[in-house]
């Protein structure tokens, strides 16, 4: 039943105008905030940890807005997967820093795009693919029908989906060696044994993927950060240069550069970051915070 109902819900949401979808998402987010369930608790812990300068009222408002923005992202996803690329491009209100992206791509060394979980990351892929062929990692979901909806939606334009295994990593390497572009969500906690080190994120250790460092080491590719900030009428695409530390041969310094890239994006739209994600889990015992 779930395999039928969940994709149907997303398809129904796709019929709503973007403004109406966001209103509905805001309503759902407010409900999540009121119920104070798991998402609320994780968001509260993360915000307190990463923004110790905020007072109780500011934290309360931050958490509420963060949950609202996350639900907007979920509700918007159906429209992004279901509509045409032309529809999506019509929702891009402004682009900041495209000259940075094009300059790095023109160096011919391949371009690694870091797209953190901020704003609506589903918008980033089609935008990048309109400039350069794009290869991104994709992990199939348990619901076949929803998986098909997402797969088709993300396969628009020149986007190639690489599985999250050795074959997928080979696809990423090949794309970079050919001078094209790959996309990675850099703020996910890798599965145990997948390559990660505890490195500071907003002043606290967080397990950080080593894949980006490995790809840079092997291909000498260039790196930029890109995210789609939610604004009135659509999205602003924002491109930032990578922190210089990310190119270091030293693993820990490179991973710190990776987290600095994510932090730079988050600071431009802090409540649009996915704070209900358990970013500080899976740490070695001596680094764990008993509250998380």
- Residue 205 in this model has a pLDDT that exceeds 90: yes
Residue 122, token pair as written in the block = 């589903």
Q: Which long-range contacts (CB under 8 A, 24 or more apart) does 58-66 make?
A: 62/270, 62/271, 63/33, 63/275, 64/29, 64/30, 64/33, 65/271, 66/271, 66/272, 66/273, 66/275, 66/276
pLDDT tens-digit map of 91-120: 999 999 999 999 999 999 999 999 999 999
Confidence label for 150 from pLDDT (cuts 50, 70 and 90): confident
Confidence label for 212 from pLDDT (cuts 50, 70 and 90): very high
The Cα–Cα gap between 214 and 258 comes to 12
pLDDT tens-digit map of 124-146: 999 999 999 999 988 777 778 77
User: What pLDDT, on the 0 to 100 scale, is given for residue 123?
Assistant: 94
How do the domains of the chain map onto residue ranges? 2-287
pLDDT tens-digit map of 153-168: 777 667 898 988 899 9
Question: pLDDT above 70 covers what percent of the chain?
Answer: 97
Question: pLDDT above 90 covers what percent of the chain?
Answer: 74
Residue 223, token pair as written in the block = 């790196």
φ/ψ of 17, rounded to 5, equals -60, 155
pLDDT tens-digit map of 214-273: 999 999 999 999 999 999 999 999 999 999 999 999 999 999 999 999 999 999 999 999
User: What pLDDT, on the 0 to 100 scale, is given for residue 183?
Assistant: 96
CB atoms within 10 A of CB 225: 28
User: What pLDDT, on the 0 to 100 scale, is given for residue 292?
Assistant: 55
User: What pLDDT, on the 0 to 100 scale, is given for residue 157?
Assistant: 66
User: What pLDDT, on the 0 to 100 scale, is given for residue 73?
Assistant: 96
User: What pLDDT, on the 0 to 100 scale, is given for residue 83?
Assistant: 87
């Amino acid at each position: 039943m779930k395999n039928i109902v969940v994709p149907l819900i997303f398809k129904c949401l796709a019929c709503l105008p973007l403004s109406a979808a966001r209103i509905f998402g805001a309503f759902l987010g407010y409900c999540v905030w009121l119920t104070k369930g798991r998402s609320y608790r994780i968001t509260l812990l993360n915000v307190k940890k990463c923004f110790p300068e905020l007072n109780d009222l500011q934290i309360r408002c931050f958490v509420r807005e963060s949950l609202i923005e996350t639900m907007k992202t979920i509700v918007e996803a159906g429209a992004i997967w279901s509509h045409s690329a032309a529809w999506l491009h019509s929702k891009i209100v402004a682009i900041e820093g495209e000259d940075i992206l094009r300059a790095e791509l023109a160096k011919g060394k391949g371009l690694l795009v870091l797209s953190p979980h901020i704003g609506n990351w589903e918008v980033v892929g089609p935008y990048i693919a309109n400039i350069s062929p794009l290869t991104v990692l994709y992990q199939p979901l348990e619901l076949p029908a929803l998986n098909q909806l997402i797969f088709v939606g993300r396969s628009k334009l020149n986007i190639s989906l690489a599985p999250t295994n050795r074959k997928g990593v080979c696809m990423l390497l090949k794309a970079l060696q050919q001078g094209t572009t790959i996309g990675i969500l850099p703020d996910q906690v890798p599965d145990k044994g997948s390559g990660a080190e505890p490195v500071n994120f907003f002043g606290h250790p967080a397990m950080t993927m080593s894949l980006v460092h490995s790809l840079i080491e092997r291909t000498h590719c260039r790196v930029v950060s890109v995210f789609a900030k939610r604004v009135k009428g659509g999205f602003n695409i924002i491109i930032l240069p990578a922190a210089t530390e990310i190119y270091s041969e030293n693993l820990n310094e490179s991973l710190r550069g990776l987290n600095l890239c994510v932090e730079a994006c988050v600071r431009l739209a802090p409540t649009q970051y996915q704070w209900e994600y358990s970013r500080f889990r899976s740490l070695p015992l001596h680094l764990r915070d008993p509250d998380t």
